[in-house]
Amino acid sequence: MLKTYRSISLIAALALIVGCSTTGPKSLDKVQGGMDKDEVLRAVGNPKQTYRRDGKDHWVYNFFEDEQEIIRTVSFANGQVVKVGPARPRISLEQELESSDTIEEFEQKVRSRKRRP
């Protein structure tokens, strides 16, 4: 019985160590164009967020270095990596309004935004 308890404790400790291992932005250096989604999962792990835009799948990874958040996106077309880069920041409606010269330009931006997921 004691031997079984030690085995379970060892397995639990190893799982905790593996589960706490951190991936960082450098782990994305392993990701190259043409890799499929399974290869990316093995190299970097699960993304924090996923979305689909313009016929491509995008996986968002968040990392922290020196208390600074780093956000990177891996983009896929037909299931293969086509780009690894910084996440595209989302612009607020207020920023859209401030950057528009006319009300027509603002309305066009709002209409195009509504079509995006």
Residue 52 has pLDDT above 80, yes or no: yes
pLDDT over 80 at 80, yes or no: yes
Phi, psi angles (nearest 5°) of residue 83: -165, 140
| Residue-wise DSSP of 48-93 | SEEEEETTEEEEEEEEEETTEEEEEEEEEETTEEEEEEEPPPPPPH
Instruction: Flag whether pLDDT at 62 surpasses 60.
Output: yes
- pLDDT value at position 90? 57
Q: Is the pLDDT of residue 96 over 60?
A: yes
Which of 8-12, 77-81, 88-92 has the weakest average pLDDT? Answer: 8-12
Whole-model pTM over 0.85? no
Q: Is the pLDDT of residue 11 over 70?
A: no
pLDDT (0 to 100) of residue 98: 72
pLDDT value at position 112? Answer: 75
pLDDT attached to residue 108: 82
